[in-house]
Amino acid sequence: MVVLLLAALPGSGMAESTTGVPSPDLATFEAITGESPEEDHSAWDRFYKKKNHAFGKEAIGFLKENIKILPKGRAFVPAMGEGRNAIFLARHGFRVEGVDLSQVAVDRALQEAKAKKTFIKGIVGDLFEFPYPKEAYDFILVSLFYSERLLPKLKNALKKGGYIMIYLKRDTGRQSTSLVPDDFAVKAGALKAALVDFETLIYREFIEQNMDMIAILARKK
Ligand SMILES: C[S@@+](CC[C@H](N)C(=O)[O-])C[C@H]1O[C@@H](n2cnc3c(N)ncnc32)[C@H](O)[C@@H]1O
């Protein structure tokens, strides 16, 4: 696996990012790329080339609402996409490392961080092959991406007492028309069960932008 480590340092020579918020689009990921969203970086690159701020420009509300109670320190953002949450964390004093399969998304995240005069470490790589450090992070944020197979690796990468926040679509059995792939959706109750060895601090099921959502904040015991 080739892992590229990039950083949003002034003078890093990257091209200026494009601007403009995409118009709402009800097409599904598969309809845009014709491919499965889980592991194909070229499919995600094609997806992001067609859309700027594909999942929004702002950090997720659940993160914003709870930022004050999170332990500051080293944060990991797997599947960070265009970096909306990673940048928000960096602006709130975290040292942030974000990983994503898509070079296009990571480049955009770094450009945006630079434009906002903040710093994140951006890594282009596959989370299924990533060399996770052991008990290294104070906080892990997972947004609109999920794999049961990865969860043990994330748990292990978190310090004792560290926090994990997971924000996902809820699998209701109905196919949705939103841009967020259903592949990462979980059934009600599945997140709590997956984090049974953690202390659950906040758990919510709610509707946001016409999507059924689940969010959890939990602490490693
Ligand atoms: C639905 S997007 C969510 C992006 C971001 N978390 C957000 O909330 O805006 C899913 C992201 O997962 C990334 N991804 C999918 N499979 C991956 C993998 N195996 N390793 C790393 N990133 C992956 C995609 O490139 C994409 O950016």
Q: Is the pLDDT of residue 202 over 90?
A: yes
What pLDDT does 174 receive?
82
Q: Tell me the domain boundaries of the chain.
A: 58-220
Q: Ligand 1 pocket: which of 3, 28, 145 to mutate (most atoms <8 Å of CB)?
A: 145
> Is the Cβ atom of 80 under 6 angstroms away from ligand 1?
yes
What angle do the packed helices 41-50 and 103-115 form, to 10 degrees? 50
**Can you name the CATH fold of 58-220?**
Rossmann fold (3.40.50)
What pLDDT does 201 receive?
98
> Is the Cβ atom of 38 under 6 angstroms away from ligand 1?
yes
pLDDT tens, residue by residue, 140-178: 999 999 999 999 999 999 999 999 999 999 998 887 777
Give the Å distance between the CA of 177 and the centre of ligand 1.
18
d(CA 143, CA 166): 6
Give the Å distance between the CA of 8 and the centre of ligand 1.
19
Residue 35 confidence class, pLDDT cut points 50, 70, 90: low
> Is the Cβ atom of 169 under 6 angstroms away from ligand 1?
no
Is 155:177 a contact under the CB 8 Å cutoff? no
